[in-house]
Amino acid sequence: MRQTARITSHNPTVAEVDLGAFHENVRNIKKRIHDDSMLMAVIKTNAYGHGVVPIGKEAVKAGADRLGVTAVEEGAALRESGVDVPIHLLGSITFEQAGDVIEYELTPFVASTELAKTISAEAIKRNVTLPLHVKMDTGLHRFGMEPGEVLSFCETCYDLPGISWEGIYTHFSSADEGEWEKTEQEYQLFHDTVAELESNGFHFPIKHVAASTITLERQDMHLGMVRPGIALFGYAPAPRQRKMVRLKPVMRLRSKLVRVRELPPETPVGYGGSYVTKKKEKIAVVPIGLGDGYHLALSNKGQMLVRGQRAGIVGSISLDQTLIDVTNIDGVSEGDEVIVMGRQGDNEILAPQIADWMGSNVDEVLASLMMRVQREYI
Ligand X SMILES: *Cc1c(COP(=O)(O)O)cnc(C)c1O
Q: Which of 30, 44, 135, 256 is catalytic?
A: 44
What phi and psi values does residue 297 have, to the nearest 5 degrees? -60, -15
What is the smallest separation between the CB atom of 229 and ligand X, expressed in angstroms? 3
Give the nearer residue to ligand X in terms of CB position, either 226 or 326.
226
Examine residue 230 and tell whether it contacts ligand X (CB under 6 A): yes
Residue 370: which of 324, 301, 319 has the closest Cα? 319
Give the nearer residue to ligand X in terms of CB position, either 28 or 267.
28
Residue 62-91 contact track with ligand X, rule CB under 6 A, x = bound: ----------------------------x-
Interface segment toward ligand X; rule CB under 6 A; list 6-14, 230-238, 265-273, 290-298: 230-238
> Which DSSP string corresponds to 274-319?
-EE-SSSEEEEEES--GGGT--GGGTTT-EEEETTEEEEEES---S
Find out whether 55 and 47 touch, Cβ atoms under 8 Å.
yes
Q: Which of 61, 125, 271, 280 is catalytic?
A: 271
10 Å CB burial of residue 53 (0-12, 13-18, 19+) is middle
What is the smallest separation between the CB atom of 217 and ligand X, expressed in angstroms? 12
Residue 39 to residues 29, 32, 55, 163, Cα–Cα distance (Å): 9, 11, 15, 23
Give the nearer residue to ligand X in terms of CB position, either 70 or 97.
70
What is the smallest separation between the CB atom of 284 and ligand X, expressed in angstroms? 35
Examine residue 171 and tell whether it contacts ligand X (CB under 6 A): yes
Examine residue 44 and tell whether it contacts ligand X (CB under 6 A): yes
What is the smallest separation between the CB atom of 87 and ligand X, expressed in angstroms? 14
The C-alpha atoms of residue 205 and residue 86 are separated, in whole angstroms, by 15
Q: How many CB atoms lie within 10 A of CB 322?
A: 27
What phi and psi values does residue 337 have, to the nearest 5 degrees? -70, 140
Is 44 known to be catalytic? yes
CA 42 to chain centre: 7
Examine residue 206 and tell whether it contacts ligand X (CB under 6 A): no
Residue 68: which of 135, 119, 124 has the closest Cα? 135
Is 377 known to be catalytic? no
- Out of 228, 249, 293, 315, the only residue in the binding site for ligand X (CB under 6 A) is 228
- Out of 49, 51, 229, 302, the only residue in the binding site for ligand X (CB under 6 A) is 229
The C-alpha atoms of residue 342 and residue 247 are separated, in whole angstroms, by 14
* Start-end of H helices in the chain: 19-31, 44-48, 52-61, 72-80, 98-103, 113-126, 147-157, 180-199, 212-217, 351-358, 362-367
What is the smallest separation between the CB atom of 135 and ligand X, expressed in angstroms? 8
The residue whose Cβ lies closest to ligand X is: 229
Contacts (CB under 6 A) with ligand X, residues 236-295: 237
Give the nearer residue to ligand X in terms of CB position, either 19 or 211.
211
What is the smallest separation between the CB atom of 221 and ligand X, expressed in angstroms? 13
Residue 13-42 contact track with ligand X, rule CB under 6 A, x = bound: -----------------------------x
Examine residue 157 and tell whether it contacts ligand X (CB under 6 A): no
What is the smallest separation between the CB atom of 237 and ligand X, expressed in angstroms? 5
Query: Which residues of the chain form contacts with ligand X (CB under 6 A)?
Result: 42, 44, 90, 171, 211-212, 227-231, 237
Instruction: Give catalytic residue positions.
Output: 44, 271
